[in-house]
Amino acid sequence: MTACVCIVPLMQIVAGFMMYKHCPKKINNFIGYRTKRSKLSLDTWRFAHRFCGALWLVTGIVMAPASVAVLFLLKGSATQTIENIAAITALIQLLPLLFSVAATEIKLKKVFNDDGTIKQDIK
């Protein structure tokens, strides 16, 4: 059960690191953080990967030990209880993934114009 609960945070850590450090060189429709706003320019593309990658990395690092701690506290509990709490934990782990997309889009809108150029007051 521990492996199941840790898979989302571990994937976040790996994917977050890859997004943060190894942004795809070209804007594409197949891999990376792909939204209309992130694909406006190479600057928005790189910014979105670094920003979202950092969010995923941090939330993954926080959630992995927290998730294990939850299961540790349930040690000795009934199997059904552990399974229910593990399912709830997995659902909670998805919230930062959704939040990170919203936060990245808000930040892109704040830093870049609608044509993908950086806003002058940000420089």
- Residue 65 falls within a domain, yes or no? yes
- Residue 101 falls within a domain, yes or no? no
- Whole-number pLDDT of residue 2: 72
- Residue 18 falls within a domain, yes or no? yes
- The domain total for the chain is 1
- Residue 120 falls within a domain, yes or no? no
Q: Average pLDDT, stretch 47-66?
A: 96
Q: Average pLDDT, stretch 43-63?
A: 97
- Residue 21 falls within a domain, yes or no? yes
- Whole-number pLDDT of residue 122: 66
Residue 12 burial (10 A CB sphere; 0-12, 13-18, 19+): buried
- Residue 55 falls within a domain, yes or no? yes
Q: What range does the domain containing 18 cover? A: 2-86
Predicted model pTM: 0.88
Q: Which residue has the tokens 């609608």?
A: 114
Q: Average pLDDT, stretch 33-61?
A: 97
